[in-house]
A and B are shown apart, each in its own frame.
Chain A
């Protein structure tokens, strides 16, 4: 059934038990992103020390896809150098924009590969990328402020 292809168990697990949720101190920069078509929103903070992502914390309202992808994001980037985190982000963006044609690399994206089915639904790609856009923006702000 198509629905199960999209809503993999991993996604539903992250949605029901999100990792890293809640806004925390300390942080270096914060980004607020909104999906204007549905009103979903996320506020995301990053704490970067010596070019390593020490913490990502977030709060927001959104569908299972946007909430789960932000939860997966924290798993993927916390503890990683910014450069490596951005490589993972690029891989995730490529997967999501691939209309289901991109084969994800589990070594790079871990739970993020569960979103491969979402990529077949163009209307939901924005949902999956909402938290990631906030992460990109927040890191850029933290570097600008440094």
Chain B
């Protein structure tokens, strides 16, 4: 993996992403600042998917013919490369439909623990137990835990936010207590880009024997991440936010935990022995991959981590940091713009949310779109976070390795344009 501090050659990189050279809305140059929602895919990923489908396509883990072997090798080979990329072992990664499914897998499996064997006892939650989340969470790492609490009678607790949108960790031990069974939190906020101190939360959870579940959707694509070094128990991330295909996500689980965790979705491929009276289950990761899995998507995600590794995650992180600094500076210089969350780029990834006084985010987004600038508007699946920051919704610009300082300038100019259009400049 390249970890040199040399800056990215963004012009050369952009040539790998055909979509970035198209125009939108009557010939406007596309300025894509919505990678936090979904990233674009380089030719290398598209070619890998196509080559798999043209040369090796078959159902994996079934059949003894040559294509079945090749397809299985391609699928499991991708798992290995993705595991290497995130500091995990081969058997610790489960392919899911998306990151949301990964969180649901853990939450539902914990819900199933009470009626599973003695090895699942450590996952049982019930009345008197506590589930801890944060106000910063994407709905994907919030709603499944609300539901688990509702189904089991456990109590949901959460870390609140400080005024500048960081986790209030002033009294960790009053939130994470000996009653806590699981602590679910995001590595990097999808709205504000805030990077949370994983070590503090993992240490607090470990003191009381609670499990940790990390939302890594916004961290794995944008910087070096090593799950073993972080010490989390579970983590989930998605392919389409890291130059890979949609329709694939990855759940990481520490090996000994996955081995003891009961299944969530059941059916073919995940069994060991099936009789009419009942069934036993395969070891992980197969236990959690019921049915015919996605194949070209796994291969595509394998190609995406190859691509990211060659570019270098530290360089990508540094590049996005520079863009974030420029965006914060440019936007904070406009009268009437309110930056949500931290006002600086310390411990922060490449996402910048803001409001424009007198221009609703939807309307601001429409003006930007008319200029060819794609941003996200709304609450970005983080409604509680917006309430904490006293915003009904926001405009969010998010960056990736292929974005440029010129595009940040275009955003800043576009915001002024929106103010002019709505007569609030």
* Same complex origin of A and B: yes
Assess A7 versus B421: contact at CB under 8 Å? Given A37-B378, A39-B378: yes
Proximity string of chain B (367-380) to chain A, C-beta cutoff 8 Å, 1 when within and 0 when not: 10010000001110
Q: Complex formed: what's the CA distance from A124 to B377 in Å?
A: 12
A100 close to chain B: CB less than 8 A: no
A6 close to chain B: CB less than 8 A: yes
Q: Is the interface of A mostly helix, strand, loop or mixed?
A: mixed
Proximity string of chain A (38-68) to chain B, C-beta cutoff 8 Å, 1 when within and 0 when not: 1110000000000000000000011111000
Q: Would A39 and B25 count as touching, CB distance under 8 A?
A: no
Which residues of chain A are within 8 angstroms of B361 by Cβ–Cβ distance? 38, 63
Q: Would A61 and B363 count as touching, CB distance under 8 A?
A: no
Which residues of chain B are within 8 angstroms of A145 by Cβ–Cβ distance? none
Which residues of chain A are within 8 angstroms of B377 by Cβ–Cβ distance? 38
B338 close to chain A: CB less than 8 A: no
A134 close to chain B: CB less than 8 A: no
Q: Would A124 and B392 count as touching, CB distance under 8 A?
A: no
Which residues of chain B are within 8 angstroms of A6 by Cβ–Cβ distance? 366
Q: Complex formed: what's the CA distance from A124 to B365 in Å?
A: 11
Partner of B383 from A2, A12, A39 at Cβ < 8 Å: A39
A146 close to chain B: CB less than 8 A: no
Assess A124 versus B421: contact at CB under 8 Å? Given A39-B383, A39-B392, A39-B393: no
Which residues of chain A are within 8 angstroms of B166 by Cβ–Cβ distance? none
Q: 25 A–B contact pairs at CB < 8 A?
A: A2-B370, A3-B367, A7-B363, A7-B366, A37-B378, A38-B361, A38-B377, A38-B378, A38-B379, A38-B393, A39-B378, A39-B383, A39-B386, A39-B392, A39-B393, A40-B392, A40-B393, A61-B392, A63-B360, A63-B363, A64-B360, A64-B363, A121-B366, A124-B366, A127-B362
Sort A-B residue pairs by CB-CB distance and give the 6 closest, nearest first.
A63-B362, A63-B360, A38-B378, A3-B370, A39-B379, A39-B393
B interface residues, Cβ below 8 angstroms from A: 25-26, 360-363, 366-367, 370, 377-379, 383, 386, 392-393, 421-422
A interface residues, Cβ below 8 angstroms from B: 1-3, 6-7, 12, 37-40, 61-65, 121, 124, 127
Task: Known pairs A1-B370, A3-B366; list 13 more (Cβ under 8 Å).
Answer: A3-B370, A6-B366, A12-B422, A38-B378, A39-B378, A39-B386, A39-B392, A63-B361, A64-B360, A64-B362, A64-B422, A65-B362, A124-B362
